[in-house]
Amino acid sequence: MTKLSVNINKIATLRNARGGNIPDLIKAAVDIERYGAEGITVHPRPDERHITYKDVYDLKGVLKTEFNIEGNPKEKKFVDLVLEIKPHQVTLVPDIQGQITSDHGWDTVAHKSYLQDTIALFQSHNIRCSIFVDADLKMIDGAKATGTDRVELYTEAYARLFSTEKEKTIQAFIAAAQLARDLGIGVNAGHDLNLKNLNYFKTQVPNLLEVSIGHALISDALYFGLENTVQLYLRQLK
């Protein structure tokens, strides 16, 4: 069974737009768990434009499912946060300052030594590591040398071409997941997965342990309601 981890950044974005505590991010996270999600994902950025560092500390005390923190480990503040919170999983993403959203994976060959050291640090604190990568066999092969526990496949290309070239586009993700499996690496996926393209991805891609979905799920909740939307996404994964 592929787990659903809900990224709650967009709930924080809405709250921050007005100030105050509406919507209540912590209550929303607890409710999302109660509605059936198997995990909560946050991606705090240096400018704290959505998830704040305080949010991460507040969530640590209330979450009962898997806690996944995403971010760029080149930010010392991020590394310190993860080591203090000790989430179940840290997902390393090569974002740059001010980036609107993640748009590329790690070059696991060029950054091999850096990723090895960073992953070893987190693993020494019993934190599972996942690294954000493109569906490129060279990058998957390079990921093995870093010592990572998992890779998260960056699925924007699949989502963008789903309506016209899904059979062709999915092949790279199938091959990447198969290689990861052969190398003993777990497979996660995320970015632009939604109710239209999720089930096909899940049924085609082997060894898919977890998907992280935020923007589409929170947007769908405006129409379907939060509880119903979480259930709709869970059904796509069965």
Q: What is the CATH number of the domain that holds 87?
A: 3.20.20.70
Q: What is the pLDDT of residues 172-192, one digit of tens each?
A: 999 999 999 999 999 999 999
pLDDT of residue 101: 58
Query: What is the per-residue pLDDT for 105?
Result: 84
Q: Which residues of 41-55 are buried (b: 16+ CB within 10 A; e: fewer)?
A: bbbbbeeeebbbeeb
Say whether 191 is catalytic.
Answer: yes
The DSSP string of 7-73 is: E-HHHHHHHHHH-TTSS-HHHHHHHHHHTT-SEEEE---TT-SSS-HHHHHHHHTT--SEEEEEE-T
This prediction has a pTM of 0.94
Distance between CA atoms of 52 and 218, rounded to whole angstroms? 18
Q: Is 75 a catalytic residue?
A: no
Spatial separation of the C-alpha atoms in residues 7 and 30, rounded to whole Å: 13
Mean pLDDT of the chain: 95
CA atoms within 13 A on the CB side of 148: 34
Q: What is the DSSP letter of 142?
A: H
Largest CA distance in the chain: 49
Q: How far is CA 68 from the centre of its chain?
A: 7
> CA dihedral in degrees (54, 230, 10, 136; nearest 10)?
100
Q: Which of 43, 50, 66, 210 is catalytic?
A: 43
The Cα 57–Cα 36 span in angstroms is 22
How many domains are there within the chain?
A: 1
Average pLDDT over residues 135-152: 97
Strands (E), the chain: 3-7, 39-42, 66-71, 89-92, 128-133, 150-154, 186-190, 208-213
State the virtual CA torsion across 67, 141, 145, 76 in degrees, nearest 10: -40
Other beta carbons within 10 angstroms of residue 69's beta carbon come to 24
Digit-coded pLDDT (tens) for 23-67: 999 999 999 999 999 999 999 998 899 999 999 999 999 999 999
| Active-site option among 66, 70, 152, 210 | 70
- Give the range of the structural domain holding residue 113, as residue numbers without chain letter: 3-236
**Residue 43 annotated to the active site:** yes
Spell 185-198 as b/e; 16+ CB within 10 A means b: bbbbbbbbbbbebb
What are 215's two structure tokens? 């923007």
Under 8 Å between Cβ of 63 and 33: yes
Our CA angle for 170, 176, 180, nearest 5°, is 145
Q: One of 33, 66, 152, 191 is an active-site residue; which one?
A: 191
Q: Does pLDDT of 15 surpass 90?
A: yes
